[in-house]
Amino acid sequence: MGEAEYGGSGGMMMGKNKDRRIVVAVDESEESMYALSWCLTNLLSQQAKTNNIISINNNTIVLLYVKPPPPAYSSMDPTGYLFAGDVVATMEKYSRDLANSVMNRAEEVYRGFNTTTIKVEKKIGSGDAKNVICVAVEKLAADVLVMGSHDYGFFKRALLGSVSDYCSKHVKCPLVVVKRPKNA
């Protein structure tokens, strides 16, 4: 491996005027909203100042929400047999409502910041969160992936926590795992 030169403009990595595309995985948790807020404060609310040349990066923030996969009922499942239509419709509505609610919440968060130089895109995926996130990061050619971390003990949060472990192994870009301090 040759010696790489990291000094100088620092533009080598990002390109001084290269658009940055930052994917923020959001869900219904406070942790993910904190992660978005952290990202806006630490990665986006900035004018890059490198070697005394001030350049405003063109930043795109992609809010990525992953809906859980639709429930699968076997024809032998009495619950599915009796209620499948209603239950599935209700769950689908709930899932849509949740997605909207998460995106609205995220919108509230970034509206509080100076986002005039930031483009915001919203993407909603469906399936296993960790796979969907990794595939999306690859497809979107993200420069950074930002996600919240859930460090207390409910089953769901243990599952969500493992998403960041999985992503740290599988995404090719830098990953920011943001923990929400107890007092925030």
**Residues at the site binding a copy of itself, with contacts judged by CB under 8 A:** 1, 4-14, 30, 33-38, 40-43, 45-52, 54, 108-109, 111-114, 144, 149, 151, 164-165, 168-169, 171-179, 181, 184
Question: What's the min distance (Å) between Cβ of 60 and a copy of itself?
Answer: 15
Question: What's the angle, vertex CA 97, arms to CA 92 and CA 102, rounded to 5?
Answer: 125
Distance CA 63, CA 102 (A): 10
Task: Give the Cα separation of 115 and 44 in Å (integer).
Answer: 8
Instruction: For the CB of residue 151, give the shortest distance to a copy of itself in the complex, in Å.
Output: 8
Does residue 17 contact residue 90 with C-beta atoms inside 8 Å?
no
Residue nearer to a copy of itself on the CB measure, 61 or 109? 109
Q: Which is nearer to a copy of itself, 45 or 95 (CB)?
A: 45
Distance, in Å, from the CA atom of 152 to the CA atom of 161, rounded to the nearest integer, reads 9
User: Closest CB to a copy of itself among 73 and 166?
Assistant: 166
